[in-house]
Structure 1
Amino acid sequence: MSFVLDHMTKQFVYGMLKNQNHYMFLMDIKVVFDNNNNENKSNKIGGNGYTICSGSYDDTIRIWDIETTKQFNLLEGHSSWIMSLKYGSNELLNTILSGSKDKSVRLWDIRSRQQIQVFNGHTSLVYAVEYSPFVIKNSIGNSNVICSGSYDNTIRFWDIRSNNNELHVIEGDKEDNVIFCLKFIGLKKKEKTNGLNLCYGSWRGPIRIWG
């Protein structure tokens, strides 16, 4: 597993792993800004606004201020290792998505430190979580979609407003065995139109693209 980090982030992660008892398995990074008209003024999370969320073998998710190297949030609820994490964006800016060895996918509210939803359906540990660009329109209104990839070799799509059964399931190729990572990307097609595709990486090594 590897990360691409700027100089300040590298220093922070080194210090955290050296001085804390939180054995970090994975992380995501985000800039948090104050809710005012001055986009250059960061929130009260250090001077530069950078935060890291980390997942650990201790079953917790922790949010850290890079500049002060202080932990300022702790999310607890999973019953086993945290295997995947993702910060939200746009209207889901204040959320974190997580997948765990306990087979569940969970959506968290950073501000209240509370779990919003838990999604059960995978039959093995969840290696990848991703916010989908798709939106469901129904009588209630619009609802965002998330997806997850698992050791059970499936990709599952979920409605964030409901913790009921999944919206859709993609079965990975039999030779793949495990879904390790997910990413939505825009690919330019021959018809000169930009399409959105789901890419996933598997245990055997190939990267597959769904369009």
Structure 2
Amino acid sequence: MKHFVSAGALVVKDGHLLLVRHYDPGRFEYWAPPGGGAEDAEELTQTATRETLEETGIVCEVGNLAYIDELIDPSGRMVKFWFSAEFVSGNINVGNNPAVTEKTVEAGWFARDQLPDGHVFPQILRGRFWDDLADGSGSHKAAVATLSVSQIADTSIHQHRGQHAMFCCMPYRCRASFLASGSNIATGPPLLRDQCLPHV
């Protein structure tokens, strides 16, 4: 099985989150924070910083690990590490992204009650992320506890992309929610259901 490792930045500026719109007519349309695959031996924090600059023109300071997103399907296993981050400088510019297949067409800063219509990936950004940010557990400097990662056995929930799970890391109270077929197999928070997308 092939393994894909990627990282993204949850960049916050004055209470607004940086999101990028990916749009390819007839194939996909969604919004997501900047992020992408790790290159060579770069550290994941460097990946998140580089991808943010490439996709949006924004320079950010990457902080601690906030969430881990895992997807397993016939093409392989992708694990995406989401880092909290703060805006440093720059103006939005989506015209310099070298990964043209990602189809980045626009980007913007969004408050919780002003998120764009349509699919926002990961789904946690429509709810729990903002609660974590408010209480400090999703902040740039928050300490993150260790979370063990295990594979989901059920594949029926996603016919197109296979298994998918969002692991949520928070200081001193690590919890995990798994996407499973109709039932929560982890104690703690409710299920985090998410639509499967192309590797981003």
Larger strand proportion, structure 1 or 2? 1
The structure whose Rg is larger is: 1
Higher relative contact order (CA 8 A, sep 6+): 2
Larger helix proportion, structure 1 or 2? 2
